[in-house]
A and B are shown apart, each in its own frame.
Chain A
Amino acid sequence: MERQSEPAIRIVVDLQRKVLEIIAVRLGEEAPLLPILHDVQAAFGCVDEAAQTTIADALNLSRAEVHGVVSFYHDFTSSADLRPALHLCRAEACQARGVERMVAAAEAAAGQRVELKTTYCLGLCSVGPAARVGDGLHARLDETGLVKLVQSL
């Protein structure tokens, strides 16, 4: 068996301790899985496989079950993506207002540098097409506006 070098082990242990702390706070709750996943996602920018395993063990679920939930919700990712992200709404109203025609340009502007994610309805249906960056909402986007927004990230 290969032995990991000391510092790497310490980091793994620290991360696991942090995950366990997050779990401990929520454990008494009625349905603790989603809140725990949200907290872990917020703390680490992802719920990676090691964290999923720790959570599964703590809640007495299988690894597969936790993985299924993480992969089902767009809110969770299993590996941290450190790039800036733009969430573009592609639900019905924004579609009707022409978002689909702008996607190619946005993708070209994003390239590999910006993470372009799809979301469904930001509650801005009457002023779409809409997008979200972090906590900031952007409405009435046209192609130029969207490309500029991507470039500004």
Chain B
Amino acid sequence: MGYEPQQDFGTPEARSEVSVTLTIDGRKVTVPAGSSVMRAAAECGGAIPKLCASDNLEAFGSCRMCLIEVEGMRGTPASCTTPATEGMVVHTQTPRLEKLRRGVMELYISDHPLDCLTCSANNDCELQDAAAQVGLRDVRYGYEGANHLGLTTDSSNPYFDFDPSKCIACSRCVRACDEVQGTFALTIDGRGFASKVSAGQASDDFLSSECVSCGACVQACPTATLQEKAVKEIGKPERAVVTTCAYCGVGCTFRAEMRGEQLVRMVPWKDGKANHGHSCVKGRFAWGYGHHKDRITSPMVRETIDQPWREVSWDEAISFAAQRLGAIKAQYGARALGGITSSRCSNEETFLVQKLVRAGFGANNVDTCARVCHSPTGYGLKTTFGTSAGTQDFDSVMDADVILVIGANPTDAHPVFASRMKRRLRQGAKLIVIDPRRIDLVRSPHIEAVYHLPLQPGTNVAVLTAMAHVIVTEGLADEDFIRERCDWDEYQDWARFVSEERHSPEVLEAVTRVPAADLRAAARLYAEGGNGAIYYGLGVTEHSQGSSTVMAIANLAMATGNIGRRGVGVNPLRGQNNVQGACDMGSFPHELSGYRHISDEATRALFEADWGVTLDPEPGLRIPNMLDAAVDGSFRAIYIQGEDILQSDPDTHHVTAGLKAMELVIVHDLFLNETANYAHVFLPGSTFLEKNGTFTNAERRIQLVRKVMEPANGLEDWEVTQALANAMGLGWSYTHPSEIMDEIARLTPSFASVSHTRLDAEGSLQWPVNEAHPNGSSIMHVDGFVRGRGKFVVTEYIPTDERTGPRFPLLLTTGRILSQYNVGAQTRRTANNVWHEGDVLEIHPADAENRGIRSGDWVHLASRKGETSLRAVVTDRLAPGVVYTTFHHPETQANVITTEFSDWATNCPEYKVTAVQVTPTNGPSDWQKDCAEQSARARRIAPE
């Protein structure tokens, strides 16, 4: 693709079914009623000059550039604010209009530095375009008058500059921040000639303001006033490739804009169905890690983990690994080998890794990092609805009337979706938040939850059952829906169960600490407030009752008839870009792609015929079991693609013991991560910019990842897996990931009609895509549940075994923040660190005061499993008795604290509840210092 900015139609698309026909400059145009004349003109190719309008913002009508004449109407109205009407006759080019426009333009230009030729936006500037369009040649006002040319540039944001001397006060940036992002960080300061854009208050710059660096204002700015630093440094891009963000499960698509082989900027793609042209700080700006000095691009091996690494050729590394894998298999059998796939990698790569394990290693010891996040979603939704996926697309939230957010923090973890949700909330939808912490959604500019239920960590099931109690006992259940769509007998069992007095909000208040009156009111609102939509995250799944909570959520949705249409549904917010995909691709030890059990003979036969091997009918080991088996000595070798289990998995000491006990650990990653300290083979990985493939986001949307530059390490990740497979004698011959997708489609009914060719032509597809759903499925369970009848499951609240006591009196829960991503391997290697340099412990003022702790102090955090130290922040976001931290930084290793407890059904670890004690201290703990030393030693690379 060449470099053409995407067309801007000036005002948003009108949604009306009714259409109107008008005549513009002699041409007849038909548009949906409610479209502006400006949009109608743009749609028939006759662009009207404009400065303050943009098609992602409501029309504003301030710049007076877009004037038109309408027959039968007096004056010269602005086309951006004039709706198109039936039979209207419009002229956009008349001598009178030209004169008016030129006059307006002269005024703008007289207060604008005329250094176009040296300006970084030269040829990519709407002011320049508009000046050319109106034929401006000279400026009658001269440049001596009062102007803003002396103002200085604000370069406080690490990624973009604000140069007010070039500002034309169109307020597009302010409106983008308000309407698109919903942060309200910008304003117009002053009025009249003195007006200028200001971030925050007078003493603020962009960095100290409320700005979250989403980039929407930079995108909206028609001039070089707000511009990416990289454009100034590298120059204007020359070509663009559309690809998909590799951070979170929202799955935003971007134009990667290139100059030569250099990436200049990532610009959110307006046609992206998940993001509609919006982005967050991670996808938009935090992509520089691929060139960080820590990136490893050469394969490395070593005999033992106390030796330094030795850089070797790809051939040597691959045969070193293959030979050892073969030897271990010969000596200990196929079940001594295993692999871990990554939710950060593509569908194709993940599929190949599980194929290598099942067909090459010869057993089913394959698992994925989704084990530690959304495995309960898989179990819970499959059991109740029949398929392991969210029921809606993101746009569905625009039809919701009541939004229930439980155990998720969308403004930090799923920012682009959160912006859409906030837009809907500003339109009047009601919000209920169930979370131990007062997350930003509970109250932030122009958003306020009607009910915030600050439950005690670990009591999700009790709260949801109490809500069900209210719905059933107060007669709010949608019995027509239930009779028609669900199993009525099971419903009755469930209804009897939840109606028991011991499940009333009043009785459960002692356990949940949620005021019963609030809980009752919230339950009524969800049941009766119109379309009710539930969004949940890891605060639901990462518990000993994670699967029960997911089923309790599904029960609520079915009981109130909130499933199977737009505006309702059950929506897991997936943490990583490809969690959905990794699960779909057969990464679990008991399932082949498309969630089909390995013990199912017919399915196995299909794969056996295609792959020419015999598959083990027994499910393999899950990650925690692999580690246990390693300590026992029966599990000997592992291939880990793109996951740092040592930092991200719970109970760090146990993971270390497991890794240490193995004979062969192969790590395939961008960086020498914490796990690699215990590895024998390091296979350098490629970034998402360096490979082809697909990711599947949280709404089941499959989107292409396109290669924009050559892999710095020489090979795309699927090529590395293929080399390893072939060194083990598997004889694979894929030449492009599209062939892997063809194989997936051939073997997986829900993907039957997916191909790269179709994705390229159609932009994206939401599975299932097959004969029954030729164009994919945006909403699921519309005409009935995938499993037939919806299943109500009785969810008994069982308190976790993790209890507070005299030694560990506080409950620790964990989460993440906007600017960092999970273990931080990428984001810590970008300028995003200005927003979050280290993990901190949030603690309530009462608990802090008891212990003599002030904000900024070092504190010692200990559980029965381990201890670490970090700095404290005193805040009343949390209830007394609860503390909170993030897990982005390896220096903190928050997971040394978390326990071995896990979800009863899926082993998903209980990250969200750990009993701890907090005491003042004066710096990092001895263990942290040892760890830092050990890592430094393990990362040594031998000189050539």
Contacts and interface: CB of A to CB of B under 8 A. Distances in A.
B283 interface: no
A71 B210 contact: no
Given A1-B855, A71-B189, A64 B200 contact: yes
A53 to B, nearest CB: 8
B443 A72 contact: no
B201 interface: yes
A67 to B, nearest CB: 4
Contact of A67 (B200, B445, B855, B856): B200
Contact of A62 (B202, B445, B855): B445
A68 B197 CA distance: 9
Given A63-B209, A64-B209, A71 B446 contact: no
B185 A62 contact: yes
Contact of B856 (A1, A53, A78): A1
Interface residues of A, number: 16
Contacts of B202: 49, 67, 71, 78
Among A49, A52, A64, A71, max chain B CB count under 10 A is at A64
Contacts of B447: 60
Interface residues of B, number: 26
A63 B189 CA distance: 12
Interface in B221-244: none
Contacts of B846: none
Given A49-B203, A62-B183, A62-B184, A68 B209 contact: no
Contact of B187 (A53, A60, A67): A67
B456 to A, nearest CB: 27
Nearest to B187: A68
Among A49, A63, A72, max chain B CB count under 10 A is at A63
Interface string A49-80: 10011001000111111011001100000100
B188 A68 contact: yes
A56 B203 CA distance: 16
Contacts of A1: 855-856
Interface string B434-445: 000000000111
A67 B184 contact: no
Contacts of B443: 60
B198 interface: yes
B191 interface: yes
B189 A60 contact: no
B210 A68 contact: no
Interface in A114-141: none
B448 interface: yes
Contacts of A53: 201
B190 A71 contact: yes
Contacts of A61: 184, 445-446
Interface string B195-221: 000111111100001100000000000
Contacts of B448: 60
A54 to B, nearest CB: 12
A67 B201 CA distance: 5
Contacts of B209: 63-64
Nearest to A52: B201
Nearest to A53: B201
A49 B855 CA distance: 23
Interface string A21-42: 0000000000000000000000
Contact of A64 (B187, B191, B444): B187
B61 to A, nearest CB: 18
Nearest to B184: A62
B186 interface: yes
Contacts of A64: 184-187, 198-201, 209-210
Nearest to B194: A71
A23 to B, nearest CB: 16
Contacts of A68: 187-189, 198
A1 B856 CA distance: 7
Nearest to A79: B202
Interface string B157-200: 00000000000000000000000000111111111000000111
A63 B200 contact: yes
Contacts of A65: 184, 187, 445
A5 B185 CA distance: 32
A50 B198 CA distance: 17
A1 B190 CA distance: 34
A1 B872 CA distance: 13
Interface in B408-424: none
Nearest to B192: A72
A62 B191 contact: no
A49 B201 contact: yes
Interface of A: 1, 49, 52-53, 56, 60-65, 67-68, 71-72, 78
Interface of B: 183-191, 198-204, 209-210, 443-448, 855-856
9 contacts: A62-B185, A64-B198, A64-B201, A67-B202, A68-B187, A71-B190, A71-B191, A71-B202, A72-B190
The 3 closest A-B pairs by CB, nearest first: A68-B187, A62-B184, A64-B187
